[in-house]
A and B are shown apart, each in its own frame.
Chain A
Amino acid sequence: MDTQDLVTTAGMAYIQLSDKELETLGKAVEQMVDFFEKMGEVNIEGLQPTTHAFIKKNRLREDEVRPSGIADEMLEQAPDLEDRFICIPNVL
């Protein structure tokens, strides 16, 4: 994994990296990625990937409206509010 890979990855993740972080975190990431190479030793032929540990029946929710009743409470948590809108700076 080279520096460009790290910078591109950081860009996708919206993680800002200082030059120092680029070095320290870069090393740590590299160490882990190198460690992951160990997985290459396992024969994975014919294996399906697992995301859900146990296969389950279909799980569906009834189409019912249940208002949260806490919309205002949640808006109070917003760092910047204008009326009922949450505000962020705009590109000018």
Chain B
Amino acid sequence: MAAQTRPWNETLKPEGIKAYKQFVAERDKQVASFLEFDPLRAQGTSNERAAVSTKSKTLEGLPFGVKDNIAVKNFHLTCGSKILESLVSPYNATAIQKLLDAGAVPVGKTNMDEFGMGSSTDNSAYKTTNNPHDLTRVSGGSSGGSAAAVAAGLVPFALGSDTGGSIRQPASFCGVYGLKPTYGAVSRYGLVAYASSLEVVGALAKDITILENVYETIKGLDGRDQTSTDPNDFPLLKKEVKTVGVLADRSGLDGMQAKSLEISIEALKKAGFAIKEVSLPLLDYAVPAYYTIASAEASANLARFNGIRYGNRPIYSENPDDLVRQARDQGFGDEVKLRILLGTFVLRSGFQDQYYLRAQKIRTAIRNQFDRAFEDIDLLLLPVFPIPAFKHGDLGMTAFQQKLADKYTTAANLTGLPGLSLPGPVLESVPVGMQFMAPAMHEHLLFQVARALQSSLPSADPAAYPAVYS
């Protein structure tokens, strides 16, 4: 059994800070989850007046990691890209400000696939993050740094962003909880946009209660994000989960993934939930629709990075056009360039109807199909990724294979519905998680089922990194 742990809220106190810093530095040498770590930098940046009323007992004094595409004042905001290497954020994201006001403290920025484009965090321009359960494997992506930091016990929770599975997939690879809230439930202000209509800020944690508290803290209408939603605009259709849907067609899954799903179904039955098979044939079109829309939006969202107002600029350029082309050529990695080109192409006049507009209509069709499915079920159980955490580099998946594998995660982004990935059983060396999807603004159902499965499917500490804080 693990040795006695120390409480998280002592890490940042004068008597605990030194040990905490040392602990993180030591473990992160191998895991490489943080791009920047400085637990004292954010002190004193909470809004004191707001803080008095919103200070949360459960979050007060807790350190947390932040994916490096979410703005934290005075920290870098590289998004895992060279083009933003020099940028220091002059402002806080809304979610960060709310957590600060609740007494939690951002201690560092976590590694990620450049601008969120990837499923391994190997697409970072800075470093390779390793899966704490098996350092030869990826931690997933794009919020791989956040997932690894939580799994390795460096922070009790971390913020991530989910555009096509970027919270749920690394969470399932690393054996932690990962929540992708309803689109608009959490303000996107301060989240560097990759695909604006698909993504949302969410969180990862080992403890479901902490995760729920974080979600309750960061959600809500925000004047700075006019796409953020007022929870009161959504009728509370369901108070609790009774029936969980599972996909009738579970072909194409890796043996371990199928096994994880079967274990989950058994656990659900044991916990008293009814199981009902559902069919969602349009899932087959989620990936092409997703990549069409995401690339299109990315091509515009990333246009602002031109080396003029901030970020890296080429040493010499002849004229403005040359400056911008060089800055982007030197600053963006291949995967980013690919998606910008793709997105620019699908928006071009003459091609837009065939690709972009069609994808948006398929999005509507998928949404309708999910709405119908939720008439008969309260939650939907889905795999997260067809295979468990894969190996780094050539031993793993090609970029194209990784994209095809987003089938089960992208649906939540196309529909805007919330999804929670749960730590699954550790099969071979790594955990194999699964996810639940819920109706819009019904996150409470996700937390309910997660609690019910807590004892049968706990978040297991990696063998090499037993918990030191809890």
Which A positions have Cβ atoms within 8 angstroms of B? 1, 5-6, 9-10, 12-16, 21, 24-25, 28-29, 31-33, 35-36, 38-42, 44, 47-54, 56-57, 59-61, 70, 73-74, 77-80, 86, 88-91
Contacts and interface: CB of A to CB of B under 8 A. Distances in A.
B323 A25 contact: no
Nearest to B404: A35
B269 interface: no
A77 B341 CA distance: 28
B306 A14 contact: yes
A88 B320 contact: yes
Interface stretch (B95-103, B223-231, B384-392): B223-231
16 contacts: A9-B348, A10-B341, A13-B344, A16-B329, A25-B334, A35-B291, A36-B291, A39-B288, A39-B292, A42-B282, A42-B285, A42-B362, A50-B361, A70-B90, A79-B86, A79-B311
A78 B309 contact: yes
B296 to A, nearest CB: 11
A47 B338 CA distance: 29
Q: What class of interface size applies to chain B in its complex with A?
A: 35 or more
Nearest to A46: B361
A9 B350 CA distance: 12
Contacts of B311: 77, 79
Given A56-B233, A79-B307, A89-B317, A32 B342 contact: yes
B372 interface: no
B319 A90 contact: yes
B184 A53 contact: yes
Contact of A29 (B342, B355, B362, B364): B342
Nearest to A60: B226
Nearest to B337: A15
A15 B362 contact: no
Contacts of A10: 341, 344
Contacts of A73: 90
B332 to A, nearest CB: 7
A80 B229 contact: no
A72 B261 CA distance: 54
A64 to B, nearest CB: 11
B229 A39 contact: no
A73 B90 CA distance: 7
B91 interface: yes
Interface in B349-378: 355, 357-365, 367
B317 A33 contact: no
B362 A74 contact: no
Given A13-B299, A39-B362, A59-B226, A28 B399 contact: yes
Contact of B440 (A9, A54, A89): A54
Contact of A80 (B226, B284, B313, B342): B313
A56 B309 contact: no
Contact of B183 (A12, A49, A53, A70): A53
Contacts of A51: 197, 360
B364 A49 contact: yes
A89 B315 CA distance: 12
A91 B311 CA distance: 22
A48 B361 contact: yes
B159 interface: no
